[in-house]
Amino acid sequence: MKIKLLFSATFACCVFSFSSLAQIKIDNNGNIGLGTASPAYKVDIFGQTRIITTTPIYGNSATVIFNSYYSEINIETDRDNVGYLGYNKRWNTIYTRYINCPNPIITSDERMKTNIRQINTPLQTIKRLRGITFDYKAEEYFGTSYQPKSTSDEKETKNRLGFVAQEVQQVLPQIVVYDTAKKYYGINYVALIPVLVEAIKEQQLIIEGLQNEIKELKKSNSKLKSASLSAGMTNISSSSNTSEHMLYQNVPNPFSQSTTIEYYLADGFQHATLNIYDMNGTQLKSIALHQKGYGNVTLNGYELKAGIYVYALIVDGQLIDTKRMVLTE
């Protein structure tokens, strides 16, 4: 009987301790409170929290600490631990203002990919994008309940660099995402890198083509100067009695609608063509020329894509001259 009374008293004290001191509180709904007498959730913890896990095989342990830094929540591992977030399984969405990550890695293994193909017209694609400087709306960036806290918060929203997602969607829809929860459009900026790389490579081909053209023009000019000096002339005549084939610069240049290329064919030729090449050296058009003396050819802008082209005068299998023309959109 004494033992029963002692047990009952001890139990009552425990219940009283749980209820009044609120070290551990279990309410009628089954909510558990640690550090609070009024748990609102299944588990309500007030104060810093630490979770230590152990690995049975290796006997190692890892620590996760939940605390706060001023008014911001802080989740960290012990200083000797590293961690994974969503390892093996993927997190769908993480909302955050900053990511401090010295070595970001995006899975890109070839074994995960199929239907691999080249990026089409990367340079033209990049030219259609509009980079902007802008300011964020504070109530949208921080939330509708935001009240200005410091000048650093204000600076954070000013003079940002980027794109407008709705504009990018018209050019590269595959890098634009829509957040159904927050109803905002976003951009996968990392996915823009391959387009930039291919655009730079395409531009480099154009530069190298222009450099080669400049070398050829210098050679041609040197030959013409030598011929002029040997003939005792200060300049080359473009009169109708010239004995050399000539190719002239197209007018207008650059052009968008049409342009005219003039040429001169001296007597005695058998076969002459005006050839059009892209900057990769691929021949796109070959126009037969039959009229001796001065003549011209008109090119329409819709016959080619916007870009830089080289045209050449070929007479009886010999390259007479080359020049560059630019077609704009």
Q: Say which amino acid occupies 40.
A: A
* Domain closes at, from 234, 258, 276: 234
Rounded Cα distance, 242 and 320, in Å: 14
In a domain, 203, yes or no: yes
* Residues 196 and 259 reside in one and the same domain: no
Range(s) of the domain holding residue 279: 243-329
Would residue 301 count as lying in a domain? yes
Residue 188 has a pLDDT of 95
Verify that 127 and 35 share a domain, yes or no: no
Cis before 252 (ω within 30): yes
Does residue 103 form part of some domain?
no
Do 220 and 247 share a domain, yes or no?
A: no
Q: Looking at the 3D structure of the chain, how many domains does it have? A: 3
When pLDDT is cut at 50, 70 and 90, the band that residue 234 belongs to is very low
Residue 327 has pLDDT above 80, yes or no: yes
Q: Is the pLDDT of residue 49 over 70?
A: yes
Q: How confident is the model at residue 262, as a pLDDT?
A: 93
228 and 123 within one domain: yes
* pLDDT over 60 at 3, yes or no: no
- Give domain status of residue 100, yes or no: no
Domain edge (last residue) among 77, 108, 140: 77
Answer yes or no: do 271 and 225 share one domain. no
How far is C-alpha 259 from the geometric centre of its chain's CA atoms?
35
Which pLDDT does position 89 carry in this prediction?
Answer: 64
**Are residues 310 and 222 part of one domain?**
no
The sign of the CA dihedral 269, 271, 276, 279 is negative
Q: What is the CATH number of the domain that holds 313?
A: 2.60.40.1930
Question: Is 214 found in the same domain as 176?
Answer: yes
Residues 202 and 255 both lie in one domain = no
Residue 247 in this model has a pLDDT that exceeds 90: yes
Compute the distance between CA of residue 265 and CA of residue 318 in angstroms, rounded to an integer: 13
Average pLDDT over residues 226-253: 60
In a domain, 88, yes or no: no
Whether 40 and 31 have beta carbons less than 8 Å apart is answered as yes
User: How much is the pLDDT for 51?
Assistant: 84
> Percent of the chain scored above 70 by pLDDT?
79
The DSSP element (H or E) to which 281 belongs, if any, is: none
Q: At 81, is the pLDDT very low, low, confident or very high (cuts 50, 70, 90)?
A: confident
Residues 283 and 178 in one domain: no
Residue 97 located in a structural domain: no
Q: Answer yes or no: do 312 and 272 share one domain.
A: yes
Task: Give the mean pLDDT of 110-124.
Answer: 93
Last residue of a domain, one of 183, 200, 234: 234
pLDDT of residue 159: 93
Could you tell me if 252 and 213 lie in one domain? no
pLDDT tier for residue 238 given thresholds of 50, 70 and 90: very low
Q: If you average pLDDT over residues 188-210, what whole number do you get?
A: 91
Between 74-83, 101-110, 189-198, the lowest mean confidence (pLDDT) is in 74-83
Residues 123, 73 share a domain = no
Task: Answer yes or no: is 157 within a domain.
Answer: yes
Compute CA distances 300 → 18, 56, 272, 320, whole Å: 89, 77, 21, 24
Specify the pLDDT at position 220.
Answer: 61
Q: 112 lies in a domain?
A: no
Whole-angstrom Cα distance, residue 187 to residue 175?
Answer: 6
> Comparing 51 with 4, which gets the higher pLDDT?
51
pLDDT 10s digits, 150-159:
777 778 889 9
Average the pLDDT over 161-185 and give the result. 94
